Structure 1
Amino acid sequence: MSTPVDYVVMLPSVDLFAMTRATPRRRDAGTTRQAILDSAITAFTRHGYDGVGVREIAANAGVTAMLVNRYFGSKEGLFAEVVDVSFAQPTMVPRGSDDLAAQIARALVARTAPDAEHLGAFELMLKSAANPRAAEIIQAGIEKHVGARFTDALQGPQRQERAELGLALLAGVWLMRRIIGTSALRDVDPQSLGAYVTRMLETVTEPPA
């Protein structure tokens, strides 16, 4: 009798771990949408509405421009979402405060410091307002979020008018100190600047006699 022979089929070795590493992880819809939004917030705040395009935003998010339009409809729709998200955060005007003027002044001084690394909604506003449609979107965002928050924090008559005057003061300081970078405001002692801004804000935060 012939002796049985075991036949072994030799397969090429496969590094399963390497294959796992090489396979890109699929994003879900929520993660993809958030990546696009994060990229757009940074881009629009740094460069303004007219200074950046959908393709650049998409590239920084690791997606295609077609996918950006799929999620947000258009550049204008994406910008509207950025404005809504940015102004919804109570970073400058807190929700309820017994010392409103001083708290806002401290936040303004810190966020406009020359070495401050974070971006802000006021920077987004100031760099995009030259575009008429962007200005309309910003106006709606202000009235819906930070303007309403400021108005609700005030007592007495003409609260909305006083709140918008306060926001105009904040925007002016932000423009001069952070974007233009005038030397006096750039190099001023932070405590002194905070004291001046507090006194100016008190004219709108305190109810008129």
Structure 2
Amino acid sequence: MLAAAVVEFTEHGYAKAGVRQIAERAGVTAMMINRYFGSKKDLFAETVDRSFGPPTIVGDEPRGLTRAMAHTLAERTASDAERLDPFLLMLRSASDPEAVDIVRRGIETHVGTRLAGLLGGPEAEVRAQLGLALAAGTWLLRAVLGTNALATADTDRLAELLADMLEPITWETGADDPAGAAGQR
């Protein structure tokens, strides 16, 4: 049921996705979904947790974080990348007053907290959100809008440019010890 909800909410956004369509996709009844999740809003909250819980562009390793994040972002936004992703779920639901708090909480709880924990040091949460803002802007312009310069950019070169932009945020200067780089600030 959650897998069907992920697809429906990602493709249609919170406002346009219906419990009946989700149930149909899952091969169950709408009543069953309501029994398990209570409401569309509760189902959406579970869907956001499922979508943002696993690492997408922010992994679990502090070593090499900047390069890994930049490379993953460049790959995930390439024209041939999978389009069923948490960013689209966020984008298509963020304008809905009922959904925006759930989306915000999902991003902060899963992605923001994970990145801030990896960054450490002063203002880790602010720096994490700045990194996510760069990622969201890249995702929007490259994968959703398809601006020519970003959509046609070489993935490896784009990863290099993104890493250069992320370094001041992560305080990782290419050294083997990211914590050491942060400690120098």
TM-score of the aligned structures, taking structure 1 as reference length:
0.80
Partner residue in 1 for 2:48: 83
Highest RCO, 1 vs 2 (Cα 8 Å, sep ≥ 6): 2
- The answer to whether residue 116 in structure 2 is matched with residue 151 in structure 1 is yes
Alignment of 1:164-175 (within 5 A): 164-175=129-140
Relative to its length, the structure with more helix (as a share) is: 2
Runs of 5+ consecutive residues of structure 2 not aligned to the other structure: 172-181
List gaps (5 residues or longer) in structure 1: 1-35
> Who is 1:163 aligned against?
128
Number of residue-to-residue matches in the alignment: 174
Alignment map for 1:1-209 (pairs within 5 Å): 36-206=1-171, 207=182, 209=185
Whichever residue aligns with residue 196 of structure 1, its letter is: L
Pairwise CA RMSD of aligned residues? 1.3
In 2, the alpha carbon distance for the partners of 1:166 and 1:133 equals 26
Task: Decide whether the 8 Å contact of 1:105 with 1:198 is kept in 2.
Answer: yes
Q: For 2:122, what is the secondary structure of its paired residue?
A: coil
Q: In 1, are the aligned partners of 2:49 and 2:106 still within 8 Å (CA)? A: yes
SS at match of 1:48: helix
Stretch moving more, 129-138 or 115-124: 115-124
C-alpha distance in structure 1 between counterparts of 2:156 and 2:44, whole Å: 35
Q: Distance in 1 between matches of 2:9 and 2:18?
A: 9
Quote the offset at 1:50 in angstroms. Answer: 1.6
Structure 2: distance between partners of 1:80 and 1:115 = 29
Deviations along 1:126-179, whole A, 9 cap, x unmatched? 111011221100111112111110000013210000000101111111111111
State the 1:118 CA deviation. Answer: 4.8
Q: Is the 8 A contact 1:39 1:60 kept in 2?
A: yes
How far, CA to CA, are the matches of 1:117 and 1:84 in structure 2?
19
